[in-house]
A and B are shown apart, each in its own frame.
Chain A
Amino acid sequence: MSTVAVLKGGRSLERQVSLVSGARVEDALERLGHDVEGIDVGPDLVQRLRVLRPDVCFVALHGRDGEDGTVQELLEILGIPYTGSGVSSCIRCADKVLAKHQMLDAGIPTPPFFAFTETAFKQLGAADALAEIEQRLEFPIVVKPADQGSALGIKVAQDAAAIPAALVAAFSYSAKVLLERHVDGRDLAVSVLDGEALPVVEAVPEQAGLYDFEARYTIGRTHFVCPADLPPQTTARAQELAVQVHELLGCRDVSRVDLLCDGDGALHVLEANVVPGLTETSLLPQAADAAGIGFDELIGRLVERALRRA
């Protein structure tokens, strides 16, 4: 059996979620008989890894530093194999703007959007273009930080008056913000494991409205349907799109692609996540379960894939 370091926590805003994901991964790895060391990542990360010399690192970090290629870069330098996607894929997926541009270029449907840095507004007068943006996107408009997971900082602006405050909020989390056409529809997630799509999960919030951070991580606030109750061709299309996005962005081993299904049954890809949540309410474990892959098997497979790269 192998020595596995589970990287979790850190300083990102999703620290608490990551701690939960990490703890569940540790339990699973222990049940599988591995030597497990949970590491709440901090300034001593490199030193600890040098001392521990794990066979493999399980990346259970969400958000900044953990999902954007930073930790992956360090692990490359240290020569330690790790679960999930490599550096370049992490960078592409963590930046929603970059990911959406690649999707557009590849002809994958994603809601129309415009993205700006704070500098564009402060130095280049981007505010003068807001009216045109609003006209092209039409209200309601979703305003969100380019590189923040878990719906933090996302606001839906119903009219022009709500846009500036929504932008200010989004810029609290990120230097780059996107304005995106709001698609009124069902929240779907398709996880891709070893290049194959798992059953579609639908997240249905108990209260109508945005599937926000709180609903996402609180049992009882959202209920999940897996496999989602969709026409077979919609399911097939969602899975096909997810695999396409997974490959397009260069994801490795696992990813979770979030989509919306509008009233006409058309699908729109929002983003891909390279370190999907592994909490009790997270979507990847539910999807795997529906495919007959238990949590331990899921975690075990991810570790094996990483070890093969050693």
Chain B
Amino acid sequence: MTRRTPRPAARDLERYAGLFASRTSVMKSSAMRDLMALTERPDVISLAGGMPDTSTFPAESFASIMVKVAVDNCAAALQYGPTEGLGIAKDVIAQVMEAEGTLVDPDDVLVTTGGQQVIDLVCRTLVDPGDVVVAEAPTYPGAVPCFSVYQADVVQVAMDEDGMRIDELEETLDRLEREGRRPKFIYTIPNFQNPAGVTMSLPRRQRLVEVAKERELLVLEDNPYGLLRYEGEPLPTLYSLDGGEFVIYLGTFSKILSAGIRLGWAVAPNPVLQKMNLGKQAADLCSSSLTQHFVSAYFGEGRWEPYLQSLRELYRRRRDTMLDALAEHFPPEATWTRPQGGLFIWATLPDYLDTTDLLARALTRNVAFVPGRGAFLDGRGAASMRLNFSGVTEDEIREGARRIGEVIAEQVELFGTLTGHRKPEPAAAEPGTVDPELADVLHLPRPGEREARRSDGAR
């Protein structure tokens, strides 16, 4: 029997509560987080994850790279490095960005501890409590705690299948200006957005960059999945369209190589980058020298593109499997996005269903997803869910979708039973308009809006 060292009262939170900074009051433990903890049970098919599949990375390749690092750069790899990152890592970053058609000077790059650190450093550099950050609706659930810690006032702008609605963005910016509030930055994931799975069109990208320039606002372009495109033509990054004047670019090795090496990067206008560098010094001095050497050695082998291609093929098959499974198992009342890349599909159910409650029922069938509420800061998203296809096998995807579909069908049927005996409430809105209260993901495909929701996805 193992014995814990007794820690008298170490768990008594109230003994420390008086010492906590006021901003920690927004770092809340939510009911959803407690539900999400249950999704990690081994018997649960979890479509709730967001993980890349690292199981296909060849172990012998990993071993030989580590040997090479040890033989060639033992002392340096075990040492601190410069805050902005090692030159060898920055050269690789420039190479990766060039693969997406974006040319950068390695001197404009800040190597970070994962892409998440870029979000933190940007908030740390730009956001005072109460400042406005504009984000997409829905937005990356992992960014929400970061915005909260810095006490940002997040304003979310709707998306459709072409990404963030720039007309709505401009209206929002006008309104904020009238209210005397100036947003500090616009946060967007233009490619295969997490969680919505949609991609910003070229005209919208061009307009977004113009808007940023006209209004002298920064844009944080979060691009973790850009190289994971399974179909269609790549679109230029916002950074390349803007020329690095008002766009901060966020990149990461997490989805193209490994999330475990915790390496990402920022490219930003020099004055912003300098402030972020100071913030990083305070946070962690520098990112891991060991993994920067690892990345350099790995890219030096020249096998990264074939590996990336194998990931694309793997994820494309899984995406197709999930799309097929949704078409087969989800009821006709449900709609979902058809991502051209990335890791996620966003499904929206009839608005009388709350996916947080649905998750409780789904867990009894040993299947899980991310309820949509986590992607909004204002309680919207209740009828939506995020489904991940990258970290699960095709069999799990099919079975998971079948089980979720079954639970939804039961709920839809029950709702029908409950309402079938009454006259429906007359709709307040004019036909063809969308009640803003109900439009969680305004203009993402809804029943009747697109004639073939299970089509081949041609837009």
Contacts and interface: CB of A to CB of B under 8 A. Distances in A.
Given A11-B41, A121-B418, A168-B411, A220 B360 contact: no
Nearest to A51: B1
A270 interface: no
B6 interface: yes
Contact of B418 (A168, A217, A221): A168
Interface stretch (B169-177, B299-307, B321-329, B419-427): B419-427
Interface residues of A, number: 47
Interface in B33-49: 33-35, 37-38, 41
Interface string B421-449: 11001000000000000000000000000
B31 A152 contact: yes
Interface stretch (A20-28, A78-86, A189-197): A20-28
Contacts of B8: 27, 30-31
A127 B417 contact: yes
Contact of B6 (A31, A217, A220): A31
Contact of A16 (B37, B361, B415): B37
Given A13-B38, A20-B11, A214 B30 contact: yes
Contact of B420 (A30, A127, A161, A172): A127
Interface in B1-20: 1, 4, 6-14, 17
B137 to A, nearest CB: 22
B360 A153 contact: yes
A149 to B, nearest CB: 12
Interface in A4-22: 11, 13-17, 20
A161 to B, nearest CB: 5
Contact of A168 (B1, B6, B29, B415): B415
B333 interface: no
Given A165-B353, A220-B25, A172 B417 contact: no
A274 B7 CA distance: 28
Q: Which of B13, B33, B417, B421 has the most CB of A within 10 A?
A: B417
Given A15-B34, A24-B11, A218 B28 contact: yes
Contacts of A37: 1
B128 interface: no
B357 interface: yes
Given A121-B414, A152-B360, A11 B11 contact: no
Chain A binding site: helix, strand, loop or mixed by DSSP?
helix
Interface in A198-248: 212-214, 217-221
A169 B9 CA distance: 38
Interface in B358-403: 358, 360-361, 363
Which bucket holds chain B's interface residue count?
35 or more
B280 to A, nearest CB: 30
A173 B34 contact: no
B62 interface: no
Nearest to A118: B414
Interface string A143-173: 0000000001100000011011101111111
Contacts, number: 113
Nearest to B30: A214
Given A152-B360, A172-B361, A214-B28, A219 B418 contact: no
A228 to B, nearest CB: 19
Given A24-B12, A168-B353, A214 B31 contact: yes
B334 to A, nearest CB: 15
Given A168-B418, A214-B30, A280-B14, A27 B360 contact: no
Contacts of B12: 24, 27, 280, 295
A248 B171 CA distance: 62
A98 interface: no
A264 interface: no
A137 interface: no
Contacts of B352: 164-165, 168
Given A24-B11, A168-B414, A17 B354 contact: no
Contacts of A30: 4, 6, 8
A218 to B, nearest CB: 5
A41 interface: no
B29 A163 contact: no
A27 B10 contact: yes
B28 A172 contact: no
Contact of B358 (A130, A172, A212, A219): A172
A177 to B, nearest CB: 11
Q: Which of A26, A127, A130, A212 has the most CB of B within 10 A?
A: A127
A73 to B, nearest CB: 21
Nearest to A16: B34
Nearest to B32: A214
Contacts of A16: 29, 33-34, 37
Contact of A219 (B17, B33, B414, B415): B17
Contact of B411 (A31, A172, A221): A172
A217 B29 CA distance: 8
A128 interface: yes
Given A30-B6, A37-B1, A172-B360, A165 B34 contact: no
A308 interface: no
A214 B361 CA distance: 19
Nearest to A26: B4
Contacts of A23: 11
Interface string A30-47: 110000010000000000
A169 B354 contact: yes
Contacts of B419: 127, 164
B273 to A, nearest CB: 36
A290 to B, nearest CB: 14
Given A26-B4, A131-B422, A164-B415, 15 more contacts: A14-B34, A16-B33, A24-B12, A121-B417, A127-B418, A127-B421, A127-B422, A163-B418, A164-B352, A165-B352, A165-B353, A168-B357, A170-B357, A171-B411, A220-B17
27 contacts: A13-B363, A15-B38, A20-B11, A26-B4, A27-B11, A27-B12, A37-B1, A52-B1, A122-B414, A127-B420, A128-B421, A153-B360, A164-B415, A164-B418, A164-B419, A168-B353, A169-B354, A172-B357, A172-B361, A173-B357, A213-B31, A214-B31, A218-B29, A219-B14, A221-B28, A280-B11, A280-B17
Interface of B: 1, 4, 6-14, 17, 25, 28-31, 33-35, 37-38, 41, 352-354, 357-358, 360-361, 363, 411, 413-415, 417-422, 425
